[in-house]
Structure formats: structure tokens, C-alpha cells
Amino acid sequence: MKKYVLLIILLLMIPITVNAETATNLSKKSTYRINNLRTNKLNDNSYKTYNTVNAATEIEISSKQDISHIYIIYELNSQKGILKTKYDTIILGSNGFLHEYQKLSTPVKNLSIKYSKSVKISEIRVYSTGDVPSDVQIWKRESKTDLMVFSTHADDEVLFFGGLIPLYLNQGKKVHVVYMCRHDIGRFKKTNRLHEQLNGLWALGVTDYPTFGIIPDNYSKPSKKTPKEIEKTYNVAESQLIQAGFTNDDIVKFDVREIRKYQPKVIVGHDDNGEYGHGQHLVNNRTLKDAVRMAALPSYKVDNLPAYIVSKLYIHLYDKKNWTVLDLDKPLSKYNGKSAYEMTKLGFKEHQSQQKTWFPGWLNGKKNEFTKATQIKSYNPMYWGLYYSAVGPDVNKNDLFENIVSNESTDPISEEIGMTTFTTTTTTSEKRQNIINSIIRRNKERKDNNVMMSIAVGLFTLVVIFYIIFKKQEV
């Protein structure tokens, strides 16, 4: 008898794993009506089709099986609405997410949706009871972040910043992506790229909803990668910006708002040469550098957000002799042994509109032969330069978070701008003020230098003019 009791106890001690059932997509077998008229555009599994639903118009969805989850994909922008069932009244659109998920408290076979304003909807997917599939995006907004990626376009975050996101998500870091451009405005308007942005980030494991940009996509590129041609390209990009109704100051203000709102420890930005010379990459690079400085100045007002000092700013490919080199090829536990580089390739696949460009060959090899990030021949996302640090210089140069303690105060203890470091032993408030004063002094010195340069150029021009006039008189 004792043997049987012992056996039972041992059996009870063995852990039993119960796999939760995956929810079934019921959309295809469900009936969708808008004002009592049937529509198939909301459940055809396509971003290319959509319904325009007018204000107060009722959308009705009925299914033979119980519905537990709702996943709405808006065409352009979400709107405030109400989802009603026998048991629930759920406010929609309050978070502003382009892809919105809602869970019902009690499963039902019928539900209705109404919006307060006209809205374009690509898909409304309904799912049965169980865990929703991994492609259902359940976004949230974090109040703070560890790493902030300033990407110019949809896809730059998985190309020239490729690997950064999965590498640091694997370490438990919070990552927030800020885009400079918005792809649903301007002459290169492609609304599908908004969905590609979200799908790509979700494939990498990002759950913090990104910040979409404010300026339209545009294009300019130098004929040669010389300083003179790069500067010409920047000037073209700046003029395109003005033609679109924006200035560099608008972008700086936009960047400062995001920096102060999310208070990142580390920020990463584009190459000084715009990687392959893209004019908007150049604009993003220069405005970001200004924004990091301005974010620290209490006198620079944006939405009553307090001044904030970023701990570190890295620029892609900056200062080659002192590169911080990231290992993007090691297996990552969060991704079942896949590397950051392998995850980046999966993220880029979600950018379907870009698959016929030169980017796939650059990232994967012309014959899909690349298996490691080290094989990328140009603009390699492994290489980063420390442009600014408030926590001292890197020594090991293999981690963007070197010298940053996870639970440290957001008040840095030292500063490095232009690779010149100073460290103080004063109080936190004094340290903060010293850093701010240093930034103000540098800005003033830069302005003074610009004024002196302008005066020098003006005097030189006058000398040349007088010389020409004098020579003509001699003749």
C-alpha cells in the first residue's frame, strides 16, 4: 500500500504542461454588414481593399461560433468608436493605433460597431476563444524607454539599424522607434508602408507603438560620395522640406518632444553621410544632433515637458577608429536561438513594397547567400560611433549600454561632446546644471564661430572686389 501511495505522490509531483488552445480566425466564415448591406472587404485578408464607414453608420458582424477577440486594421487613421455586444460596451480608437486589438469579456456570436467620424477600415478580424495567433498585434504605449531609434523611413529600422532592436529586446531593454517621415502624405504617398512599419516591428518583437513622422517622404542623392556633393544633397533635401511646408526647426522640435516624453538612455541616429547619401537621412542626422542638445535646455520649451539629458548618442559609422562593434550573429534566447541578424531579415520581409529594390541584395546577398551580419559589405549595422556621452567614454566598445547602470538616475554624472570628457564631483542638480551650461556654451561658441566666419568671408569678398576694380583701373 505504501508503495502505491508513494507512486501517486511521485506522479503528482511531475509537472503537467497544458498548451492553451490557439484562437481560430472566424472572419471568412462570418457575415459582415454595413447599414444592413453585406460587404466582403472587411474580411478579405487584404490591405489593398477597405470600406469607408460614415459617422454613426452601424457595422454588424455575426458568426456561428463564439467570438472572443476583435482585431481592427484601419486604412489610414483610427477614429473614436463604440463596440457593443450583449455584455460589453468598448471604446475604440482611444489609443490611436492603426492596428487595434480588443478582447471581449464574454464570448458572443453577434456584435456591432459605430464611429463618431468617418473612417476607412481595411480589416476587422474576429477570433474564437483561446490565445490569439502571433500575428495579431497587441500594442501598448510605454511611459519611458531605454533605447530610442530615430529611423528616417519605414524599413530603415531593419536595414541600417538592423539587429539593434532584437539584440536589445533580448536583453530586456525597452525599445521605441521614431520615424521622421510619414508615408501617407506627399507625392510618394504609399499607405501600405504604414502597415509594413507595424508588421516589421512586430516581427522583431516590438510591442511599444512607434511614433510616426511628420514630413512627407522625398528623395535626393549625390552623384559622388564627396563632401561637396553630400552638402549639395543636404541642401536639396532641405529645400524639399521647405517646399513641403516644414523646416529643420520643426523636426528638431518633434525630436525633442519624443526625447523628453520617453526619456531614453541611449539614442541612435543615421550616418553623417546618410548611408548611401540619401538626403533625408542627412537631414535626420543633423536635426537629431541638435535635438539631443536642445532637449537638455530648460529654456527650449516644448509642450511643457521638462528638460532631459540623454546619456548617450550613437551615430551609425561615426568615428571609424573608435567604433563600437555589436555582435549581431550570436544566438538569442528570446528568438529560439535565432540571431539579431536573422530576425532583422524576417522583419525586412514584412516590407513587401521594398522587395524589388537593391535592399534585399544588400541585406541578404545577391543570391541570398548571407548567413551572418559580418557579410554585409557596406553601411554595416554592426558599427556605431559614440558621438556624445554623459557617462564617460566607451572602453570595451561592444555594447551601446556600456557605463549605464539599469537602475541609475536619469541625471548623468559626466559629459562627452566632440569626444571631450569632463567628470564632476558636485551634487546631482549641480552636475545637471554644469552639463546644461556646457551645452549652452558650445551652442554660443558655435554661433560666434559662424558669425566670425561670415565676417571673414565678407571681408575676403570685399578685398577681392577692390582688387578687381584696382586692376581694371590700371588697364
Q: Are residues 153 and 123 in the same domain?
A: no
Q: For residue 67, which of 132, 160, 155, 16 has the smallest C-alpha distance?
A: 132
For the chain, percent of residues with pLDDT exceeding 90: 77
Return the pLDDT at 185.
84
Sign of CA dihedral 214, 310, 145, 163: positive
Task: Indicate whether 20 belongs to any domain.
Answer: no
Q: Are residues 387 and 264 in the same domain?
A: yes
Mapped onto helix, strand or coil, the DSSP state of residue 351 is coil
Q: What is the CATH number of the domain that holds 255?
A: 3.40.50.10320
For the segment 388-411, the average pLDDT, to the nearest whole number, is 84
Task: Indicate whether 447 belongs to any domain.
Answer: no
Task: Indicate whether 446 belongs to any domain.
Answer: no
Q: Which residues of 107-126 are buried (b: 16+ CB within 10 A; e: fewer)?
A: ebeebebebeeebebbbbbb
Higher pLDDT, 166 or 442: 166
Per-residue pLDDT tens over the stretch 151-162: 999 999 999 998
Return the pLDDT at 410.
43
Task: Indicate whether 420 belongs to any domain.
Answer: yes
Q: Are residues 291 and 185 in the same domain?
A: yes
For the segment 203-209, the average pLDDT, to the nearest whole number, is 98
Q: Are residues 54 and 113 in the same domain?
A: yes
Range with lowest mean pLDDT among 31-40, 185-194, 211-220, 384-393? 185-194
Burial class for 216, CB neighbours closer than 10 Å (0-12, 13-18, 19+): buried
Q: Are residues 122 and 151 in the same domain?
A: no
Q: Are residues 99 and 215 in the same domain?
A: no
Q: For residue 263, which of 295, 285, 239 has the smallest C-alpha distance?
A: 295
Among 403, 419, 435, the domain-final residue is 435
> What gap in Å lies between CA 185 and CA 179, rounded to an integer?
14
Residue 218: C-alpha distances to residues 27, 96, 162, 246, 268 (Å)? 38, 25, 22, 13, 22
Task: Indicate whether 441 belongs to any domain.
Answer: no
Per-residue pLDDT tens over the stretch 64-120: 999 999 999 999 899 999 999 999 999 999 999 999 999 999 999 999 999 999 999
Range with lowest mean pLDDT among 46-50, 203-207, 357-361? 46-50
Amino acid in the structure at residue 303: D
Q: Are residues 379 and 263 in the same domain?
A: yes
Q: Are residues 115 and 174 in the same domain?
A: no
Q: What are phi and psi of 323, to 5 degrees?
A: -55, 140
Q: Are residues 236 and 361 in the same domain?
A: yes
Task: Indicate whether 442 belongs to any domain.
Answer: no
**What is the pLDDT of the chain when averaged over all its residues?**
87
Residue 358: C-alpha distances to residues 98, 159, 466 (Å)? 29, 12, 53
pLDDT class for 187, splitting at 50, 70, 90? confident
Alpha-carbon dihedral of residues 97, 127, 205, 279, nearest 10 degrees? -40
Q: What is the CATH number of the domain that holds 81?
A: 2.60.120.260
Q: Are residues 283 and 408 in the same domain?
A: yes
Residue 271: C-alpha distances to residues 82, 91, 226, 359 (Å)? 45, 43, 14, 17
Say if residue 415's pLDDT is above 90.
no
Q: What predicted TM-score, i.e. pTM, was given to this entire model?
A: 0.83
> What gap in Å lies between CA 328 and CA 165, rounded to an integer?
10
Task: Indicate whether 113 belongs to any domain.
Answer: yes
Task: Indicate whether 327 belongs to any domain.
Answer: yes
Amino acid in the structure at residue 368: N
Q: Are residues 312 and 358 in the same domain?
A: yes
Per-residue pLDDT tens over the stretch 352-383: 999 999 999 999 999 999 999 999 999 999 99
pLDDT class for 418, splitting at 50, 70, 90? very low
Say if residue 431's pLDDT is above 50.
no
172: containing domain: 147-435
pLDDT class for 462, splitting at 50, 70, 90? low
Taking every pair of C-alpha atoms in the chain, what is the biggest distance, in angstroms?
128
Return the pLDDT at 8.
47
Among 127, 161, 188, the domain-final residue is 127
Q: What would you report as the CA-atom Rg of the chain, rounded to the nearest whole angstrom?
A: 27
Return the pLDDT at 255.
98
Q: Are residues 78 and 161 in the same domain?
A: no
Number of domains, the chain: 2
